[in-house]
DNA sequence: AACCACACCAACCGCGGCGCA
DNA sequence: CTGCGCCGCGGTTGGTGTGGT
């Protein structure tokens, strides 16, 4: 019932979301919140555009999203609100906790449209006049101001920064600042950092502990347009990664690369956590919410003795 | 069983608003 | 004032499910 997965010319995935992608996005947002949709996918290790991530989160992954099974009350409310407000789905959605504008819009098109059309023959003609988008938007804002928003309030916005990764004490600086601060980081320092992370990953007894680095380099290549050589191996050791960096002079890791490595390492840790807790060889991602997970996460990024500056 | 038409809905797309430099 | 980037909204699409023939 959804569009089949595809990859556009920029390497951005489209179409149906896989469970792994859902887990990555959910885990990332639960950990760091929403700070910039455009950049978030890179840091979450997703080959998706920001818009797609936003939509997936808002309409499907966000906590408390209700799915299907509209009650009679909800149906009546949608019907009445639509009569009052027209196609202002986002405003209508604020009156129905757990329902998204997209879902309400779909529900109206599939269930209530005919009913409305039946009544429309008796409505005054000005009910049918189309408002300009500007008019619609202004009205929406005024109405929205009257409605209390609880769902997204109070979520702490924390973006992962390299300094966070290195110190294990998250701060609130954004990745833009990060890229400015560390864009000149020498390659050797990157290697030190990767080696440090990699060594820890290896110690966790997972066969694919450095899967993250493989993903990172693929992403990095596509961004830099230097993908003449495909990623030649699946990293099994940090020395492979370092060797590969060293062989390819066209690759000069920047902070974006570091950020990807960082986020992917996070995902690797999630794999490891699950493997540890459940004793499974290929368990998939788990949600980083348990105290044990949090503890493991902080341990895994206790890199206070490394400085890239 | 095979085919067809329609229902359904997740995801995409384009546009406008807003904030900031 | 202007241009740019980001976000959110509403319209639309694409593909699967389902019921009828």
Which CATH number goes with the domain that contains A122? 1.10.10
Q: Are residues A210 and A279 in the same domain?
A: yes
Residue A245 in domain: yes
- pLDDT value at residue A118: 55
Each residue's pLDDT tens digit, A228-275: 333 333 333 334 444 444 443 333 333 333 333 333 334 434 443 444
A110 & A227 share domain: no
User: What is residue A119's predicted lDDT score, i.e. its pLDDT?
Assistant: 52
Give domain status of residue A271, yes or no.
yes
Tell me which residue range forms the domain holding A14. 6-61
Spanning CA of A28 to C1' of B18, the rounded length in angstroms is 27
A101 strand C contact, CB < 7 Å: yes
Q: Is residue A155 part of a domain?
A: no
Q: Is the pLDDT of residue A59 over 80?
A: yes
HEC letters along chain A: CCCCCEECCCCCEECCCCHHHHHHHHHHHHHHCCCCCCCHHHHHCCCCCHHHHHHHHHHHHCCCCCCCCCCHHHHHHHHHHHHHHCCCHHHHHHCCCCCCHHHHHHHHHHHHHHHHHHHHCCCCHHHHCCCCHHHHHHHHHHHHHCCCCCCCCCCCCCCCCHHHHHHCCCCCCCHHHHHHHHCCCCHHHHHHHHHHHHHHHHCCCCCCCCHHHHHHHHHHHHHHCCCCCCCCCCCCCHHHHHHHHHHCCCCCCCHHHHHHHHHHHHHHHHHHHHHHHHCCCCCCCCCCCCHHHHHHHHHHCCCCCCCCC
A3 Cβ contacts chain C strand, under 7 Å = yes
Q: How many domains in chain A?
A: 3
CA of A305 to C1' of C6 (A): 37
């Amino acid at each position: 019932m959804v569009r089949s997965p595809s990859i556009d010319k920029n390497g951005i995935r489209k179409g149906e979301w896989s469970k792994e992608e859902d887990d990555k996005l959910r885990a990332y947002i639960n950990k760091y919140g929403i700070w910039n949709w455009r950049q978030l996918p890179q840091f979450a290790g997703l080959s998706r555009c920001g818009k797609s991530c936003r939509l997936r989160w808002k309409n499907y992954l966000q906590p408390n999203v209700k799915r299907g099974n509209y009650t009679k009350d909800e149906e009546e409310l949608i019907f009445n609100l639509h009569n009052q407000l027209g196609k202002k789905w986002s405003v209508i959605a604020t009156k129905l906790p757990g329902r998204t504008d997209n879902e309400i819009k779909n529900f109206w098109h599939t269930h209530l449209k005919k009913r409305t059309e039946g009544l429309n023959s008796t409505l005054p003609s000005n009910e049918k006049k189309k408002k300009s988008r500007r008019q619609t938007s202004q009205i929406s804002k005024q109405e929205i101001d009257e409605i209390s928003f609880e769902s997204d309030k109070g979520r702490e916005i924390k973006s992962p920064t390299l300094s966070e990764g290195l110190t294990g004490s998250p701060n609130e600086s954004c990745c833009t600042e990060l890229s400015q601060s560390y864009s000149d980081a020498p390659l050797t320092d990157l290697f030190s950092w990767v080696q440090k992370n990699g060594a820890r990953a290896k110690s966790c007894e997972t066969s694919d502990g450095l899967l993250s680095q493989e993903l990172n380099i693929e992403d990095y290549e596509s961004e830099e347009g230097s993908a003449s050589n495909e990623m030649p191996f699946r990293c099994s050791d940090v020395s492979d990664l370092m060797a590969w960096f060293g062989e390819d002079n066209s690759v000069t890791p920047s902070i974006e690369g570091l950020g990807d490595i960082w986020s992917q390492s996070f995902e690797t840790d999630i794999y490891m956590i699950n493997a540890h807790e459940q004793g499974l060889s290929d368990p998939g991602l788990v949600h980083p919410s348990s105290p044990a997970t949090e503890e493991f996460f902080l341990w895994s990024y206790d890199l206070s003795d490394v400085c890239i500056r």
